[in-house]
Chain A
Amino acid sequence: MGMKGADIEAMIRAAFPDAQIEMKDLAGDDNHWAATVRSAAFKGKSRVQQHQMVYAALQGNMGGVLHALQLTTTSKD
């Protein structure tokens, strides 16, 4: 179970090429990750919409193999 941090980052990167992505390994087990994603694509979107965009980028892995991804999104100009 779980996804490697590098794989998560690559999937987010593919959907948001401009993004600044910060990955934090919360438990040191390469399984519980916190991601902070900063992208211009989030501009004008609600938090719910921003997270939905990231979940879409993860293509169904969120809530499946990826149980624990703590997500923070911010927009940049």
Chain B
Amino acid sequence: MADAAQTQIAEDVKNNPVLLYMKGTPVFPQCGFSSMAVQILTHLGVKFEARDVLADPEIRQGIKIFSNWPTIPQLYVKGEFIGGADILREMYESGELKTLFAEKGIALQDA
């Protein structure tokens, strides 16, 4: 079953330009770190998809293997792993995250 999870994740990150793996949902995050990631993306005005890892243990374990990253949240942009909560915060504060979305051709709406 682990392989099925890996395949599904590979498909998902390919098909969704901005994809956040998180605990809970954007409306009801279940963890402070996931909540912060949602707030950053929302504040930048980025349209994103989210996957609730708490709803699927296979994906929860699978994404850690897929990214070689031990924690949630995890952000993927155009199939590339950008980072977890700390990196997102750092990139947001320095303005790098906004630049990255622009470079990747992701539309930002003024929030």
Residue positions of A touching B, CB distance < 8 A: 47-48, 51-52, 55, 60, 62-64, 67, 70-72
B69, B71, B83: residue with the most chain A Cβ atoms closer than 10 Å: B71
Residues of B within 8 A of A67 (CB): 71
Contact B86 A70 (CB under 8 A): yes
Contact digits for B2-43, partner A, Cβ 8 Å, 1 yes 0 no = 000000000000000000000000000000000000000000
- A51-B70 Cα distance, complex, nearest whole Å: 10
A-binding residues in B (CB < 8 A)? 64, 68-71, 81-87, 90-91
B24 to chain A, nearest CB (A): 15
Q: Please, which residues of chain B bring their CB within 8 A of the CB of A63? A: 64, 70-71
Name the B residues within 8 Å of A64 (CB-CB): 70
Instruction: Summarize B's interface: helix, strand, loop or mixed.
Output: mixed
The distance in angstroms between the C-alpha atoms of A51 and B84, with both chains bound, is 9
B81 near A72: Cβ-Cβ < 8 Å: no
In Å, the complex CA distance between A70 and B85 comes to 8
**Chain A residues positioned under 8 Å from B91 (CB to CB):** 47
Question: How far is B23's CA from A67's CA once the two chains are assembled, in angstroms?
Answer: 13
Q: Which residue of A lies closest to B31 (CB)?
A: A67
With contact pairs A62-B71, A63-B64, A63-B71 given, residues A51 and B83 touching in the complex (Cβ less than 8 Å): yes
Q: Can you add 19 more A-B contacts, CB < 8 Å, to A48-B87, A63-B64? A: A47-B83, A47-B90, A48-B69, A48-B81, A48-B82, A48-B83, A51-B69, A51-B83, A51-B86, A51-B87, A52-B68, A52-B69, A55-B70, A60-B70, A62-B70, A63-B71, A64-B70, A67-B71, A72-B86
Question: What would 21 A/B residue contacts be, using CB atoms closer than 8 Å?
Answer: A47-B83, A47-B87, A47-B90, A48-B69, A48-B82, A48-B83, A48-B87, A51-B83, A51-B84, A51-B87, A52-B69, A55-B70, A62-B70, A62-B71, A63-B64, A63-B70, A63-B71, A67-B71, A70-B85, A71-B86, A72-B90
